[in-house]
Amino acid sequence: MTVINPLKTPIIQQKIQWILDPVGYLNDAYKQQQDIFTANVSGLGNDSLVFVSHPQAIQQILTNDRQQFFANGELNNILTPVVGLSSLLSLDGEKHKRERKLLMPSFHADRMQIYADLIIEITDNVFSTLKQGEVFIARELMQEISLQVIMKIVFGLSEGDRFDKIKKLIKAILDRFNNPINISFLFYDWLKTDLGAWSPWGGFIRTRMALDELIYHEINLRRQENYQDNTDILSTLLTAVDEEGQGMSDQELRDELMLMLFAGHETTAIAMTWGLYWLHRHPEVKTKLLTELKENSDQQSANIFKLPYLTAVCNETLRVHPVAMLTFPRQVMTDTELLGQKIPKDTVLLGCIYLTHHREDLYPEAYQFNPERFLHRQYSPYEFMPFGGGVRRCLGEVLALYEMKLSIAHIITNYDLTLVDNKPIKPKRRGVVLSPDGGVKMIFNSKHNK
């Protein structure tokens, strides 16, 4: 089998570095082969994967989704132990198309206004727990905000025993996979062995079973209620039917809810954390953003969402620190050519979001935080793609951006925060995503007097 632009790094070293230091791995690989290379890293159902970072090639891959490059759901097997085989992540072809169509109304832009007051209220409630001069970890606080938001939006729950139990179990599963040792269990099938409740995989299985029980109970409760007027996503999905009049089964609902709970809150929390970090590391950016927000303080949240400098700040945050490093994999269906390279049938390709976002030909001084670049140029979906692309583009993109923009705008307008120190913070693997190392330590100084 032809190996496309292999790396000089020994394979075992590649596997270890990908787990322990994925950003270092990608930067080293780019220095060796740049636009396209074979990555000998485990996972995704294939040991040799081809990473692509040139926008032209990424466009070719994402715009020929179903014919030449197939978004095979079986290749997304890293997260199936969490989100199951019936979520958008695992489906492909017509089943994926059907499920996506059923889910779309829940994430329509018109619904976002309903969530605005909720996001602000939860943000204030979480910040009200801080005392003057208290040091806190920004990622933990943002995660609490985002988890409460997603629980309310998905289940309609904001308090009580059911809320507390579900929240506790979600945190337990996330914490289990937040270090390199435990994440290895998702990458390597031979480690997925249940040796009892105290073993890593056995403990995960039992935690997941407990969460499943609560989610199925929630689904059954809602089916018995009159949920027609509810605005939460579960109620909306219970009314959704396909072209043949078929609704979603309990298994399908469970898997989609799990995907939303896990993909929909920690990723947003991490993005908000990076946003706060950069705004407080660069006071001139924060001052400029505050000026824009004050000039538009009488605007509704839908208009705040569209403010150009707020949008530029959030876009630059997602560019410098994309939460996801890669697009979802595509399987080559027929022998083809990419960037002058012959690509054999059945090769698995992944767009490398991280490397594309740090190309000097697209983003001069790519490692510098510079929101103005998004005011001076409009980037294509193959140059800037924090939410992936093609048929696998994140369905919750609008909700994630809405929450990120509203929360950041509200926090910097209403609370005085400072970084504990102004040292650069590097991205570090947290599960399958990238998170700020140490979580960003900040000091809560006071609430602004209006």
* Residue with the larger pLDDT of the pair 288 and 300: 288
Q: Which of 74-83, 271-280, 285-294 has the lowest mean pLDDT?
A: 74-83
Q: What is the pLDDT of residue 231?
A: 76
Is pLDDT above 60 for 450?
A: no
- Locus of tokens 């150009």: 308
Q: What is the pLDDT of residue 45?
A: 44
Say which CATH topology domain 11-447 has.
Answer: Cytochrome p450 (1.10.630)
Is pLDDT above 90 for 243?
A: no
Q: pLDDT per residue over 204-235, tens digit each?
A: 889 999 999 999 998 988 888 766 667 788 88
Q: What is the pLDDT of residue 158?
A: 80
* Residue with the larger pLDDT of the pair 337 and 46: 337
* Residue with the larger pLDDT of the pair 113 and 308: 308
Q: pLDDT per residue over 8-18, tens digit each?
A: 999 889 988 98
User: First-to-last CA distance in the chain?
Assistant: 67
Instruction: Round the average pLDDT of the chain to a whole number and report it.
Output: 87
* Structural tokens at position 189: 């099938």
Is pLDDT above 90 for 179?
A: no
Is pLDDT above 90 for 29?
A: yes
What are the extents of the domains in the chain? 11-447
How much is the average pLDDT of 42-56? 75
Neighbours of 44 (CB within 10 A): 19
Q: What is the pLDDT of residue 290?
A: 96
Percent of the chain with pLDDT over 70: 93
pLDDT-derived band at 299, boundaries 50, 70, 90: confident
Q: What is the pLDDT of residue 183?
A: 65
Q: Write out 51-71 in H/E/C secondary structure.
A: EECCHHHHHHHHCCCCCCEEC
Gyration radius of the chain over CA positions: 22
Q: pLDDT per residue over 315-329, tens digit each?
A: 999 999 998 899 988
Q: Which among 49-63, 66-80, 111-125 has the top mean pLDDT?
A: 49-63
pLDDT-derived band at 247, boundaries 50, 70, 90: confident
**Which of 349, 350, 348, 354 minimizes the C-alpha distance to 324?**
354
Percent of the chain with pLDDT over 90: 48
Q: What is the pLDDT of residue 193?
A: 73
Q: Which of 125-129, 197-201, 294-298, 302-306 has the lowest mean pLDDT?
A: 197-201
Give the DSSP letter string of 283-344.
HHHHHHHHHHHHHTTTS-HHHHTT-HHHHHHHHHHHHHS-S-SBPPPEEE-S-EEETTEEE-
Hey, is 422 helix, strand or coil?
coil
Q: pLDDT per residue over 347-386, tens digit each?
A: 999 999 999 999 999 999 999 999 999 999 999 999 999 9
Q: Which among 30-44, 311-325, 329-343 has the top mean pLDDT?
A: 311-325
Q: What is the pLDDT of residue 441?
A: 97
**Which of 442, 91, 107 minimizes the C-alpha distance to 281?**
442
